[in-house]
Amino acid sequence: MKGRHFFSRHRRGWILLSVCTVLVILYLSILPLQSGIHRILAALSSGKIDQVASLIRSFGSRAVLASFFFMVFQSVIAPLPAFLITFANAAIFGWWQGAILSWVSAMAGAGVCFCLSRALGREIVEKLAGKAALSGIEHFFQQYGVNTVLICRLLPFVSFDAVSYFAGLTPMRFIPFLAATGLGQLPATVIYSYVGGMLTGGTKYLVMGLLCAFALSALAVLIRKLYQSRHGDPASGGGRE
Is residue 1 very low, low, confident or very high in pLDDT (cuts 50, 70, 90)?
A: very low
Whether the Cβ atoms of residue 24 and residue 15 lie closer than 8 Å to each other? no
Full-model pTM: 0.74
3-state helix, strand, coil in the chain (%, to 5): 85, 0, 15
Cβ–Cβ < 8 Å for 85, 102? yes
> Higher-confidence residue: 176 or 241?
176
The pLDDT score that the predictor gives to residue 236 is: 41
CA dihedral 75, 129, 39, 68 (to 10 degrees): -10
Between CA 150 and CA 25 the distance in angstroms is 40
Q: Give the pLDDT confidence score for residue 15 in this predicted structure.
A: 67
Short-list 121, 113, 61, 58, CA closest to 82: 113
* pLDDT tier for residue 67 given thresholds of 50, 70 and 90: very high
pLDDT tens digits for range 200-218: 555 455 555 555 555 555 5
Domain residue extents for the chain: 46-231
DSSP-assigned letter for residue 234: G
User: How would residue 159 be classed by pLDDT, with cut points 50, 70 and 90?
Assistant: confident
pLDDT digits (tens, 9 = 90+) for 48-59: 888 899 999 999
Per-residue pLDDT, 191 = 81
Q: What are phi and psi of 84, to 5 degrees?
A: -60, -45
